[in-house]
Structure 1
Amino acid sequence: MNPVIRWFHLLGSPPYFDRFAARWAPWCYLAGVLLMAVGTWQALFVVPADYQQGDSARILYIHVPSAWMSLAVYALMAVYAGVALVWRIKLCEILAMACAPIGAAFTAITLATGSIWGKPMWGTWWDWDPRLTTELILLFLYLGVIGLYHAGDDRRASARAAGLLAIVGVALLPVIRYSVEWWDSLHQGQTVRVFGQSSLDPSMAAPLWWMVVGTKFWFAGSLLARARADNLRREAGRDWVRKLAEESA
């Protein structure tokens, strides 16, 4: 068997995943904190103020990575949910449900920082702008997935219902992405592109990419830690969990 395929098969084993998550979650957290610390320091003290927005633009170094993560985490949650529904892989159910609180947090940060930025730029904390409104709907979708998962006593049945909602909600992602192009919007257009020419001055780009990579590592650590905790709850009573508890005592 191919070593990579064999590793994925092993990762589906609850004891093996527990050891994997326990080993790598702290390192992902550490990498995320260090990278975001560098990005924050550069955003506050290295890059110049924006020529139009002044120092208010510095909050976008938190807002933009959080906005990207709010969409990326939802897409990943839907992929895990789809795999779980088709192939009945329990670990994918766990990972999908672990994505939801993290994605909701990124979405809430996106909305909060957008409001803080919007007050001096637009003169209001909130406007029913297409981008803001669809991002708010995304938060409600995350909360719906979390609520469905915790609504019943049967975690596997609840995970399937929540996973179905996650899959249906994927239709919102392109609407959020292209809302500023499809409708009149106060929200500025895309200034940063992963591929292609960005309108962001190169002197101001470095802290953004530090933050983008840092949030990815932080998400990985959070995902592993949450999935590990849920995995242990589901496997409570198994011999390997009792042995682990005895070793930790």
Structure 2
Amino acid sequence: MAKPLDYIFPNPPAGLDPRALDLERIPESVAVIMDGNGRWAKKRALNRLKGHKAGIEAVRETIRCASDLGVKYLTIYSFSTENWKRPEDEVVGLMDLFAKTMLAEVDGLHEEGVRVRTIGDLSMLPQETRDAFGEAWEKTRDNDGMTLVVAVNYGGRQEILRACEACMRRAALVAEAGGEVEAPTEEMFEEGLYTFGMPDPDVVIRTSGEMRVSNFLLWQIAYSEFVVTDVLWPDFNRYTFLECLLDYQGRDRRFGGVA
């Protein structure tokens, strides 16, 4: 159940009324492409890792706000399969930051009833980082509050290929047993996705004004609404989140139907 709006948004800026938010229409699933850490750092003559560290507070506030509003699933795009192309010192720093942040935050998330899970291929991550995510999952897996989904070493194309391979393996086993191989259905295909059992995002939020999906949840966002804000991720806060949700609630979702 959502907490009172004046508790969640105690000091709204002028012109932004939290009471305009309809608590009966809070999206079940929100996905966020967190962009702009590097530009935020560059504007301040800092290295890129300083920007990533600054973005942690935005992650923390978004998690708390989404949980307080009654969002059931919050998926954050932390590290893509393409991000390995970044400078080595940045990648190493990010992996260390993931591990330290997860270990530092997991107790608080657990107290809030948040369940932490990951999507993506964790096998390529350093052991310390894998262990931190594993510890978070084990500690919070039985919680019944919001599910925080951390997409790390995640790529939408790679996930689709993974699901195709799962369908092929299933068909091969059926054929080997002498059974009749059926044409795959969407339901069968989705069993091979990292997100199996989770709802598709109702809304995808992207920061820093960029207009692209960046290989994120390509199957799952077929009918998601998109909200783009020019705010750089380290400057994203609960009031930016409120503005995004108000934008979302102003949409008429028809899922391919007529108005």
Which TM-score applies when normalising by structure 2? 0.26
Which TM-score applies when normalising by structure 1? 0.27
Structure with bigger helix share is 1
Structure with bigger strand share is 2
The answer to which structure, 1 or 2, has the higher relative contact order (CA under 8 A, 6+ apart) is 1
